[in-house]
Amino acid sequence: MTRELIIRPDDEADIAQAFDWYETQVPGLGSEFLLVLGAAFNSILRNHLIYPEVHKIVCRALTRRFPFAVFFIVEATRVVVLTLFHAKRNPDEWKHRL
């Protein structure tokens, strides 16, 4: 079954902000960030069961190379990204974005 990936507007803004920040650090790094994030999203869609549940029905996928976690829930026909969270932030803070 193919599920639809839903990214909420707040998360799209967070992704754009992270992209901009990485691009100011090293040109092209923002594009690499987007590729890594896309790979994480594709992995979640292919097999969400490999990711641990971290709070009730909320699962977490960690990105490679960049210190971000993707918190998501799986529904019958879609995967909803609840938040994209930088790993250096307070780990309990992501729950406020639910």
pLDDT at 1 over 80: no
- Which residue range is the domain that position 71 belongs to? 4-97
User: Do residues 39 and 28 lie in contact, with contact meaning Cβ atoms separated by under 8 Å?
Assistant: no
Which pLDDT does position 91 carry in this prediction? 58
The total of structural domains in the chain comes to 1
For 6-16, what is each residue's pLDDT tens digit?
999 989 998 99
For 31-76, what is each residue's pLDDT tens digit?
999 999 999 999 999 999 999 999 889 999 999 999 999 999 999 9
State the CATH number of the domain containing residue 55: 3.30.2310.20
Which pLDDT does position 85 carry in this prediction? 84
Which pLDDT does position 20 carry in this prediction? 97
DSSP 39-60: HHHHHHHH-GGGSPEEETTEEE
